[in-house]
A and B are shown apart, each in its own frame.
Chain A
Amino acid sequence: MEKRTGKIVKINANMVTVQTAGQLIQNEVAYILASEARFKAEVIRIKGNCAQMQVYESTVGLKVGQAVEFSDELLSVELGPGLLGQIFDGLQNPLPALAKKCGFFLKRGVYLDPLEDQTRWDFTPLVKVGEKVLAGSWLGFVPEKIFKHYIMVPFALAGVFEVISIAAPGKYNLKQPIAQIKNLAGKIYAVFLQQSWPVKIPIRAYAEKLRPTEPLVTKIRLIDSLFPISRGGTYCIPGPFGAGKTVLQQLTSRHAEVDIVIIAACGERAGEVVETLKTFPELVDPRTNKPLIDRTVIICNTSSMPVAARESSVYTAVTIAEYYRQMGLNVLLLADSTSRWAQAMREMSGRLEEIPGEEAFPAYLESRIASFYERAGLVRLHGGINGSLTIGGTVSPAGGNFEEPVTQATLKVVGAFHGLSRERSDARRYPAIDPLISWSKYTSFLDLAKQKLGHEVLVRSQEIFQMMKVLGEEGTSLKEYIEYLKGDFFDFVYLQQNAFDLIDEATTKERQIYIFNFIYEILIAQLNLGDKEQALRFFQKLKQLFRTWNALEFKAAEFKKIEAEINLLVSEKNF
Chain B
Amino acid sequence: MQKIYTNIIQIAGDVIMVEASGVGYSDIAQITTRRGVSLAQVIRIDEEKISLQVFAGSRGISTGDQVRFLGMPMRVATGENLLGRIFNGSGNPLDHGPELTEHLTDIAGPPVNPVKRIIPNKIIRTGIPMIDVFNSLVESQKLPIFSIAGEPYNELLARIAVQAQIDIIILGGLGLKYDDYLFFKETLEKHGALNRAIIFMHTAADPVVECLLVPDIALAVAEDFALKGKRVLVLLSDMTNFADALKEISITMEQVPSNRGYPGDLYSQLASRYEKAVDFEGAGSITILAVTTMPGDDVTHPVPDNTGYITEGQLYLKNAVIEPFGSLSRLKQQVNGKTRSDHRAIMDTMIQLFASYRQVVEKQAMGFQMSTWDNKLLQYGRLFEKKMMSLEVNIELEKALDLGWEILAQSFTPEETGIKRSIIEQYWPR
Contacts and interface: CB of A to CB of B under 8 A. Distances in A.
A398 B368 contact: no
In which size bucket is the chain A interface? 35 or more
Interface stretch (B159-167, B304-312, B406-414): B304-312
A350 B118 contact: no
A530 interface: no
Interface stretch (A150-158, A184-192, A265-273, A409-417): A265-273
Interface stretch (B43-51, B78-86, B169-177, B195-203): B43-51
Contact of B272 (A10, A11, A303, A399): A303
A266 B314 CA distance: 22
Interface string A138-158: 000000000000000000000
B25 interface: yes
A9 B120 CA distance: 44
A270 B116 CA distance: 11
B45 A277 contact: no
A10 B47 contact: yes
Contact of A63 (B24, B299, B313, B331): B24
B115 A87 contact: yes
Nearest to A246: B330
Nearest to A533: B371
A278 B119 contact: yes
Interface in B79-118: 108-118
Q: Which of B47, B114, B116, B268 counts the most chain A CB atoms within 10 A?
A: B114
Interface stretch (B53-61, B206-214, B250-258): B250-258
Contacts, number: 181
Contacts of B120: 271
Contacts of A62: 24-25
Given A304-B271, A343-B267, A353-B256, A105 B46 contact: no
Contact of B265 (A99, A305, A347, A398): A347
Q: Which of A347, A359, A400 counts the most chain B CB atoms within 10 A?
A: A347
A302 B111 contact: yes
A106 B265 contact: no
Contacts of A159: none
B328 A242 contact: yes
Q: Which of A270, A275, A472, A473 counts the most chain B CB atoms within 10 A?
A: A270
Nearest to A356: B256
B47 A9 contact: yes
Contact of B113 (A10, A105, A303): A105
A408 B301 CA distance: 20
A575 interface: no
B13 interface: no
Q: Which of B27, B300, B355 counts the most chain A CB atoms within 10 A?
A: B300
Contacts of B11: none
Contact of B300 (A300, A360, A398): A398
A102 B305 contact: no
A350 to B, nearest CB: 5
A126 interface: no
B150 interface: no
A356 B259 CA distance: 12
Interface string A94-123: 011011001111111000000000000000
B258 A346 contact: yes
B404 to A, nearest CB: 18
A552 B314 CA distance: 34
A241 B308 contact: yes
Interface in B278-292: 278, 280
A557 interface: no
Interface in A482-527: 500
A277 B25 contact: no
A11 B115 contact: no
A347 B268 contact: yes
Nearest to B250: A350
B275 A360 contact: no
A92 to B, nearest CB: 15
A500 B259 CA distance: 38
A275 B118 CA distance: 8
B42 to A, nearest CB: 9
Contacts of B305: 241, 398-400
Contacts of B25: 11, 59-63
Nearest to A35: B24
B339 interface: no
A64 interface: yes
B22 A104 contact: no
A254 interface: no
A303 B112 CA distance: 11
Nearest to B47: A9
A62 B24 CA distance: 5
A350 B120 CA distance: 36
Contacts of A271: 117, 120, 140, 312, 331
19 contacts: A9-B47, A11-B25, A12-B44, A64-B22, A64-B48, A99-B115, A99-B116, A104-B113, A240-B308, A267-B267, A274-B114, A304-B276, A347-B265, A350-B256, A350-B263, A350-B265, A360-B258, A399-B300, A474-B368
Given A95-B113, A346-B264, 19 more contacts: A11-B44, A59-B26, A60-B24, A62-B25, A63-B22, A64-B22, A64-B48, A65-B21, A105-B111, A269-B275, A269-B312, A270-B114, A271-B140, A274-B115, A346-B258, A359-B258, A360-B258, A361-B258, A427-B355
Interface of A: 9-13, 58-65, 87, 95-96, 98-99, 102-108, 240-242, 267, 269-271, 273-275, 277-279, 300, 302-305, 307, 340, 343, 346-347, 349-350, 353, 356, 359-361, 396, 398-401, 426-428, 472-474, 500
- Ranked 7 nearest A-B pairs via Cβ: A399-B300, A303-B271, A304-B275, A241-B308, A360-B258, A60-B26, A304-B111
